[in-house]
Structure 1
């Protein structure tokens, strides 16, 4: 029996990943602020379990409690593998650094960096204790490696996730566990995040016209397609611990 934990499962890439797991005989725990009736229907159709847990990843005080609740469901005598997909993320604030308010920055870092690190840390420990292999994929971005004007927060948090991925993977290698930690860059997709980017002003985000062009020229990838690439990677027995995977190498 296999389980997947998918953050940000209510829409976009998270919804696509959750559905693909359910269609691949993997039970799914979805973390998001809003529920997704479509995933519940897919689970029923495939005789699988989908459990939605309402969680605001910007509130770090509830993370351990939420992880504990999930653990009671997924760690059973029949569990053979667990997949953790840290997909949830925010791009806001889209603004020049000197104009960003501290409270906006704090929430951004909580959602994009602290939450995926804290959730991964918890389940690495629990999986090691229970003797169940954990495969973790942290969703990253090309912005982790290239500065983008107006995205100081986003670039910084994605860069930190890449380094965390490499470090956590190194630790698992040294401990000789069966756990794997990777990052995955999905490229540009047709999601709500892209809508927010396109709604920016030029003063906030100098490349806004470029991103509008991606939509106009039909260059945004479908989340089902991208999700399929990621599910194939994490379920491959030859997955490379600590690697930063890029979807462009698979399309």
Structure 2
């Protein structure tokens, strides 16, 4: 009889730390579902070589309800007995145009909040709803939600109000959901985790900002120049190690540097 797989759902898996996490999660005993705007051929090739079950969806997370309904329907079609555990990692995020809030195009502001906050909330709700039905039917595997937050959700920065607000909201909705799940038998465990400062496209975007509109520009330039940025691979390993800690969920808002 085949052994149950671990199921991991990962958003924003086509590049940066998301891709690094996806590559590290590819294992024969794990089914990985990646949700990104674009399919990544490199990831598909790596999965084939590793003999690892991989499903990739091309899905715009700005369509928040559509993405959540798709996930809920897919989970509802799965046989829970085929999985030993199930995990959702909300990793996708967007940095809008760098500058004061009144200079941010309305469509950029809305997209940053949809992808960075509304989508994780909808996906978390869909995940809890669908896997909660598994629990009520007798399934007893662990359920985890890992939200990739940022230090900018806890420390304000000029010129990035939408991104900071989305990450602050992510922290707080994680706290709320953790309280809800603590009241439920076999409830899920949730953590909103700041992954440290990582050398990704977002960092490049920040370093390319206009100094007149972005007072913190030099700080981000110096972080790169002085070698203080973790690689996506290093950061992914730290984040995934947090997922495996026996006390995962004890502190719903955490930082890999703690």
Please point out which of 188, 198, 202 is paired with 1:179.
188
Corresponding residue of 1:219: 228
Q: Tell me the TM-score normalized by structure 1.
A: 0.93
Give the Cα separation in 1 of the matches to 2:178 and 2:198.
27
Q: CA deviation at 1:33?
A: 1.0
Corresponding residue of 1:59: 63
For the 8 Å contact 1:30–1:53, the answer to whether it is kept is yes
Equivalent positions of 1:167-246 (< 5 A) are: 167-246=176-255
Q: CA deviation at 1:75?
A: 4.2
Alignment of 1:114 onto 2:118: yes
Alignment of 1:95 onto 2:104: no
Give the Cα separation in 2 of the matches to 1:212 and 1:25.
41
Stretches of structure 1 that go unaligned for 5 or more consecutive residues are none
Q: CA deviation at 1:99?
A: 1.4
How well do the aligned residues superpose, as a CA RMSD in angstroms?
A: 1.7
Larger CA deviation: 140-149 vs 236-245: 236-245
Give the Cα separation in 2 of the matches to 1:136 and 1:236.
13
Please point out which of 39, 45, 58 is paired with 1:41.
45
Give the Cα separation in 2 of the matches to 1:51 and 1:130.
21
For the 8 Å contact 1:93–1:153, the answer to whether it is kept is no
Q: Tell me the TM-score normalized by structure 2.
A: 0.91
Three-state SS of the structure 2 residue aligned to 1:165 is helix
Three-state SS of the structure 2 residue aligned to 1:5 is strand
Q: CA deviation at 1:73?
A: 6.2
Alignment of 1:78 onto 2:87: no
Aligned length: 249
Deviant stretches of 4+, over 6 Å: none
Give the Cα separation in 2 of the matches to 1:204 and 1:187.
24
For the 8 Å contact 1:180–1:242, the answer to whether it is kept is no
Corresponding residue of 1:126: 130
Give the Cα separation in 1 of the matches to 2:121 and 2:72.
15
Stretches of structure 2 that go unaligned for 5 or more consecutive residues are 136-140
Larger CA deviation: 134-143 vs 75-84: 75-84
